[in-house]
Each structure stands twice: as structure tokens, then as C-alpha cells.
Chain A
Amino acid sequence: MDNRSPYIVDAPSVSVIMFKVLLALIPGIALYVYAFGLGVIVNITLASLTVVLTESAILAIRKLPIKPFILDGSGLVTAWLLALSIPSIAPWWIIVLGTLLCIIFGKHVYGGLGYNLFNPAMVGYAILLISFPSIMTHWQIPTNLMENHVEWLDQIKIIMNSHLLSKETIDAMSSATPLDYIKTQLTLNQPLNIIQQNKIFGFLGGSGLELVNLGYLAGGLYLLKDKIISWHLPVSFLTTLFFTALIFNSFSPDTFASPLFHVMSGGSILCAFFIITDPVSAPTTPKGKIYFGVAIALLVFIIRIFGGYPEGIAFAVLFMNIFAPLIDSLTQPRIFGHK
């Protein structure tokens, strides 16, 4: 191209950024496998395959070059995030359907990379959650807590064909998440300290889940250090969640879980570092990012405590995605030489 200045550039490409995000997910995934077995790997593989195939097909239909848009890695990030958000023993068609929804309705109807208004992974997740509430709330319990040891082959069997195993085995493998459990037990007027004596609770959040969250945290810190994501979003989100929980917890420790529990359970860490940091659907101004993080944290807390769903991240993120353009236009920073 003619007359193109600047003639020099120095920036990591979109692919590098996206693959670094994937890399940062690895510790969390490794710990996931350690605590829960290989189910999550199956889901990730299925999701990745679905993404590559669907995106190639869509790009071909739209007559766009396929290679650069597959290699940009954004589809894989979406797929992995979805795979990590759904229960690891959900049947195979859940992840395939979810990924299709993400890629089609979250991403490509809006024009693909860079144009989506909503976080694609959360679009898919939310549709799955309201369509298949039972499957989506049956989470696997950590392998070391299972009464009968379950082979990893069984996990794969459950994922690939749930009829192969008896209902008892599945029931033995799964339970509600700690957040879900607290919610249902609280309605039975159980005090919190009794509820939390259940074996599914660990030292911080849910047993096993807290480990995974620590893995995500490590990956998130790597992304922060490498300046792939800015500090505004995770910091504002986590501090708001922590302090809101702290206020409620100190007000009534019997009904409101501890702030650390809120931060370390559910998808809080994944959300803070990987989900709300999707640059396309989040505000871009520094101030806007802070408002965005704060608002999502508040909504997550409200939905967790007062709402109908045990976990509110997907809804909170989608809800705030709606606000992103408005936040952007209202939080324009002061321009050099302007008042």
C-alpha cells in the first residue's frame, strides 16, 4: 500500500495475544485434571474441534480468508472458556451445541472477530443454562471425594454417552456446586457453618474448585505481568466482590458466606481475568473498565444471594455488555489540552 506511515510497527499480533490467553489457562486446566479427572480435557477438545470446523464453514460462506481468522485464536479462547464453564461431566452434545451458539450467535452474526457486542462464551453459556438447567447444575465432585473410584474412561463414557452408565454412578459422581448448595440449604433455614461442613467445601471455596481457581489466578497474574490485560478489570471486580461480601458477611455471618469464599468459588477468578477482560465487549476507557468491573461484581453478588440462579457471572457479564458502549461514551478521558 502506498503512503502508509508509520512504516514501522512493534506490536504483538492478535494471534500472539490470544495464544497467550490460552497459555495462561493451562495451569488452571492442569489443576482441573488433577482434581476432577480428564473430563474437562474431553470437553476442551470437543469445543476446539467444533470451533475450528464451524468457523471455517462460516468464513467460507462469508467469503473471508479462513487461515488468518482461525489462527487468530479468538475462537479457541471462546471455546476453552465455555468448556471450563460447563460441568465436566455434561454430555458431549452440550459442549458442541454451546460452542455452536457462541460462535454463531455470539460472534459471527455480528461480523466475527472484533465486532461482537456480547461476550461470546457467556452468550453460549447463558443459553445452555436456561435451556438445560438440570444438566448445567450437576457438577462433578472431586475424584478424591468419590466413594467408588471412577476411572477416567468412565468420565469419557459419561460425556460421550450418558446411557452407558447407571443413574447411580452418575449421581455418585455429581452434586450441586457449593454456591448452589448454600442457596438451597439456606432456604431450609440451615445456618451457614453447618452447611459448610459438607464434604464438597474445601478450605477456601469448593473442594477441588479452589485449586482450579488458584491455577486461574496464576495464569491471570501472568497475563497482567505480560500486559495482555489491564489491571483495571480484575482488580475492580475482585475488590468489589470481596468487600461487598465482607460487608454482608460481617453483618450476618450465618447467612452470608465469607468474602474469600465468594472470591474463590464459582467462576469468580476465571471471570475476573479471562471473561470480563474480553476487550471487544468490555469498555475501553480506564474509568469505564473500573465501572464495568465494579458493576459486574455487584450484580454477581446480588444474583448469587438474592436471585434465582446460584451463579450470576454469565448474566452479569451479558447485562454489563449491554452498557459497554454507553459507558465508553460517558467516560471519555480528558484529552490533552482540553478542560
Chain B
Amino acid sequence: MIQHYFLIIISTVLVNNIVLVKILGLCPFMGVSKKLETSISMSAATAFVLTIGSMTSWAINHYLLEPNDLVYLRTLSFIVVIAGVVQFTEMVMEKNFPLLYQLLGIFLPLITTNCAVLGIPLLNAQSSHTLIESALFGFGGGIGFSIVLILFASLRERLEGAEIPAPFRGSAIALVTASIMSLAFMGFAGLDR
């Protein structure tokens, strides 16, 4: 059983990393990775939302939608729930970490529309995960997102000093870098067997 849970984590963090392999959540990945400091807080917020979102979505799916034969309402209700969780996180953050709140700016409310955040609960529902599995899946996805975002930010900070040819500056080089990162993650293929 433990092994199974371990495999879920390994799988979501490395092998099927939501950003680099599943290509979900690219918006904050590109948007909030200019600075290491902000990327760390962003990843913490996202990981939090992912875990809580997965769990609440599971509960809604399990207790409300499936018994009532309302599976078709999944996407709608998940979005609503996630939006609620994000709003909550936002308020907590504004109160307790006001500077962070400002730094994250538009990307904090945008966690709502982060496809990773919706994607993970939907994948959970699709593969009929249990509550613990859903939580681990969400958590693992969050960790995977965090690792990749933080590393990406550290790379981009290094690139600040590089003399990149003009056409490649900014998002272009960031995308090239992301793709090579994705290439590196392909080495883990087959680890989750």
C-alpha cells in the first residue's frame, strides 16, 4: 500500500510532472518564474490550493455528484470549488503576507484558471482515486509544480546576465529552456512501472 502511494508521488513529481510532461499550468510557470523569491511563494500557494482543491473536489464528486448521477456537472462544480479555495488563499495571503500578495499580483487569482488546478481533480475523478489517493495526487502534483517552477526561476535568474540574441530574449528563451527541462524529465520515463 505504502509502495503504491510512494509510486503516486514519484509518478506525479517526476515521471508525469504536470508542467513538463503533462504540459499543464504553463501560465504561472511562465509568468511567475522571473524571480526566485516570488516563485517560491507562488509554488507554495499553488501546492496548497492543489492539495485542498483535490480533496474538496473529491468530496463533492463522491458525496454530491456521483450519488445524484450528476457527473456532467463535474467541471462546473470543480471550478466553483477551486475558485472558492483560491479566494480564500488570496484573503489569507493579503492579510498575512501583504507584500507577497502584491508581488504575485494577478497570478494569485489566476491560480483559479490554472489548468493544473482543474486538471488534477478531473484526473482524480477519471481514475476514481480514493480520498487519500486524491490528496496525494494533488499534493504530488503541487510538489512537482513547485520543484519545476523554483528550478525554472533559478535558471531564469541566471539568464538575466546572459547575452541572449535579441530575437530569443524573454519568453522565447524561457520556452526553449522549458523544453530542454522537459527533455531532461523524459529520462524518468518508465520509472513508475
Residue numbers of A with Cβ under 8 A of B are 62, 105, 108-112, 115, 117-118, 123, 126-127, 130, 299, 302-303, 306-309, 312, 314-316, 318-319, 321-323, 325-326, 329
Known: A109-B176, A322-B151. A123 touches B163 (CB 8 A): no
Residues of B with C-beta under 8 A to A115: 159, 162-164
Complex: how many Å from CA A308 to CA B162?
35
Q: Once the chains bind, are A309 and B184 in contact (CB under 8 Å)?
A: no
Residue numbers of B with Cβ under 8 A of A are 150-151, 154-155, 157-159, 162-165, 168, 172-173, 176-177, 180-181, 183-191
Q: Once the chains bind, are A325 and B177 in contact (CB under 8 Å)?
A: no
What is the CB-to-nearest-CB distance from B113 to chain A, in angstroms, rounded to a whole number?
27
Q: Once the chains bind, are B164 and A307 in contact (CB under 8 Å)?
A: no
Q: A307-B188, A315-B188, A316-B187 are in contact. List 4 more A-B contacts (CB 8 A).
A: A109-B172, A307-B191, A318-B181, A319-B185
Q: Once the chains bind, are A126 and B165 in contact (CB under 8 Å)?
A: no
Known: A109-B173, A117-B155. A130 touches B186 (CB 8 A): yes
Q: Which A-chain residue is minimally distant from B167 (CB atoms)?
A: A109
Q: Once the chains bind, are B184 and A303 in contact (CB under 8 Å)?
A: no
Could you count the A-B residue pairs with CB atoms below 8 Å apart for me: how many are there? 88
Q: Once the chains bind, are B184 and A109 in contact (CB under 8 Å)?
A: no
Residues of B with C-beta under 8 A to A303: 187-188, 191
Q: Once the chains bind, are A109 and B154 in contact (CB under 8 Å)?
A: no
Residue A126 contacts which of B158, B172, B184, B188 (CB distance < 8 angstroms)? Answer: B184
Q: Once the chains bind, are A108 and B165 in contact (CB under 8 Å)?
A: yes
Residues of B with C-beta under 8 A to A322: 151, 155, 181, 184
Residues of A with C-beta under 8 A to B157: 325
What is the CB-to-nearest-CB distance from A266 to chain B, in angstroms, rounded to a whole number?
14
Residue A318 contacts which of B154, B180, B189 (CB distance < 8 angstroms)? Answer: B180
Known: A105-B180, A319-B185, A325-B154. A111 touches B191 (CB 8 A): no
Of residues B150, B180, B181, B191, which shows the largest number of chain A Cβ atoms within 10 Å of its Cβ? B180
Known: A105-B176, A118-B180, A307-B189. A110 touches B154 (CB 8 A): no
Residues of B with C-beta under 8 A to A111: 162-165
Of residues B151, B163, B172, B184, which shows the largest number of chain A Cβ atoms within 10 Å of its Cβ? B184
Residues of B with C-beta under 8 A to A323: 151
Q: Which A-chain residue is minimally distant from B14 (CB atoms)?
A: A319
Residue A319 contacts which of B154, B159, B177, B187 (CB distance < 8 angstroms)? Answer: B187
Q: Once the chains bind, are A309 and B159 in contact (CB under 8 Å)?
A: no
